[in-house]
Amino acid sequence: MLSNTNTSLVTATIVNNQLILDYLENKFGTAQITIRGTSKGLFVEDTFTITVNQVTKGILITGTSGNDNLVGGDGNDTLQGLAGNDTLNGGLGSDSLEGGNGNDVYYVDNVNDVIIDSAGTDTVIAPFSYTLAAGLENLTLTGNGNLNGTGNTLNNTIIGNNANNYLLGDTGNDKLDGKAGVDTLDGGAGNDTYTIDNINDVIIDSAGTDTVSASITYTLAAGLENLTLTGNGNLNGTGNSLNNTIIGNNGNNYLLGDTGNDKLDGKAGVDTLDGGAGNDTYTIDNINDVIIDSAGTDTVSASITYTLANNLENLTLTGSTAINGTGNNGNNVITGNSGANLLSGLDGNDSLNGGNGNDTLLGGNGDDTLIGGTGNDSLTGGSGRDFFRYNSRTEGIDTITDFNVLDDTILVSRSGFSGGLTVGTLLNTQFTTGTSATTSAHRFIYNASNGQLWYDIDGTGTTAASQIATLSPTLALTASNFGVF
């Protein structure tokens, strides 16, 4: 005897002592089949259960050469984006997502989803812990669960969700951002960038030159090189014993470099920059910015008119605005920008370089070196043994206001002037007074009546002489007042 509790799901028959089951199409559910046999008053009975699950057929969706948005159904779907920057979302089921060429975005919602991609810069959006396969660049975790995100050998950008994430960048130059929550960010090898927004976030790093981007007050742990503060709050940034680059935000920042050769830039706001020990560089853009420094040979890079405080050695003006730079009692190196600058060395043996523009250079006391650069510059050495340096015969016509033939020297570049000059003191045969060269060897011609100093690359040859400076007239100038480097 044969009984069946669900004949709408399956039919059961016995033919030649064999049980034959016939499943009906598009049906699912459970049926119990019972078989009973009798012989000579005895019987044997067995019951078994058959379960048929509903199966949703997968679909194939193929995009175009444009930027497509492909969404699958509940089955095991295959989505092919072809060319273009496509967005692929397989929906439920174990899906195959193939973006093709272009920068594609993949939404995965099943651990068995498979991504096939060989071109472009691609992003995976995942609501569960996920590891990027080879060829995939970026990963964004979603939802509120504590998830992990792992990169590969490429330069990955891995972004966490609102929970506590562990993000591992592997070997590339990675960008890790845990977002909300208490996150652990491990860049692995490479030059990595970490975004920090929680004081309890943890960075693990052992290789490369790395940067922390922090929206909170932050101190670099050992092994981390650079720090950038973000937002508009008044935040502090502290370095370590490495050579740090620390950049402020739009607020009023206190930046401390510690013991390395650090670069500190407060950006907008009224900032206090403390390089600590080491040879530090300070970027200044506000007249109220304060520099604290007590050791090393330090440089100020200023986009405003600036005077070096004590214990600061060097000053570089930036931009193209006509601003001024002033030294102190030490031996300063002051460099102008592309505008018309007034550079003043004050005391000390200073080096002043006007750069581009028509500059005014004042050496002050000490043995100073004045480099006008391009433009028609005014050069005043002041007291001491001063050097007026020219790198090219075409830099412009400078006015040397106080050249002293007993103490001062005009230095010229052998390569910048050409004409057969040799390094050292100028040869006597290469200097003359008057209005023009009278031999083929003459190079420098000083007109004692008007103070003009000319350079002739070929003496009595066919190339015209060019004026390089104006000195006081009637000087007892000789070849010994010139040096070649």
Structure-block tokens of residue 137? 């660049």
* Sheet architecture: strand order including 29-39: 2-4, 29-39, 42-52
pLDDT at 54: 54
How many angstroms from the chain centroid is the CA of residue 307? Answer: 30
Task: Kindly tell me if the per-residue pLDDT of 388 is higher than 80.
Answer: yes
Structure-block tokens of residue 246? 């620390």
**Residues 345 and 328: beta-carbon distance below 8 Å:** no
Beta strand 306-307 pairing with 87-89: unpaired
pLDDT at 320: 97
**Residues 416 and 423: beta-carbon distance below 8 Å:** no
The last residue of one of the domains, among 35, 52, 69, is: 52
Global pTM exceeds 0.95 = no
Average pLDDT value over all residues in the chain:
93
Would you say residue 305 lies in a domain?
no
Would you say residue 129 lies in a domain?
no
Would you say residue 467 lies in a domain?
yes
Percentage, residues of the chain above pLDDT 70: 91
Alpha carbons 97 and 40: distance in angstroms, whole number: 64
Q: How many domains would you assign to the chain?
A: 2
Alpha carbons 351 and 218: distance in angstroms, whole number: 38
Alpha carbons 255 and 125: distance in angstroms, whole number: 37
Would you say residue 446 lies in a domain?
yes
Task: For 93-121, write each residue's pLDDT tens digit.
Answer: 999 999 999 999 999 999 999 999 879 99
Would you say residue 24 lies in a domain?
yes
Could you give the C-alpha distances from 310 to 260, 267, 291, 398, in angstroms and in order?
20, 23, 10, 31
Alpha carbons 1 and 206: distance in angstroms, whole number: 75
Would you say residue 35 lies in a domain?
yes
**What is the secondary structure of 236-281 as a DSSP string?**
EEE--SS--EEE--SS--EEE-TTS--EEE--SS--EEE--SS--E
- What count of other Cβ atoms lies within 10 Å of the Cβ of residue 221? 12
Beta strand 29-39 pairing with 2-4: antiparallel
Task: Kindly tell me if the per-residue pLDDT of 144 is higher than 60.
Answer: yes
Structure-block tokens of residue 135? 């060829």
Q: How confident is the model at residue 30 (pLDDT cuts 50, 70, 90)?
A: confident
Structure letter (DSSP) for residue 37: E
Task: For 317-376, write each residue's pLDDT tens digit.
Answer: 999 999 999 999 999 999 999 999 999 999 999 999 999 999 999 999 999 999 999 999
Task: Kindly tell me if the per-residue pLDDT of 27 is higher than 70.
Answer: no
Would you say residue 350 lies in a domain?
no
Structure-block tokens of residue 210? 């790395």
pLDDT at 206: 75
Residue 48: domain span: 2-52
Task: Kindly tell me if the per-residue pLDDT of 391 is higher than 70.
Answer: yes
Q: How confident is the model at residue 25 (pLDDT cuts 50, 70, 90)?
A: low
Task: For 259-314, write each residue's pLDDT tens digit.
Answer: 999 999 999 999 999 999 999 999 999 999 999 987 899 999 999 999 999 999 99
Q: What mean pLDDT comes out for the span 116-132?
A: 95
Would you say residue 464 lies in a domain?
yes
Structure-block tokens of residue 328? 């102190």
pLDDT at 47: 74
Task: For 74-92, write each residue's pLDDT tens digit.
Answer: 999 999 999 999 999 999 9
The last residue of one of the domains, among 12, 30, 52, is: 52
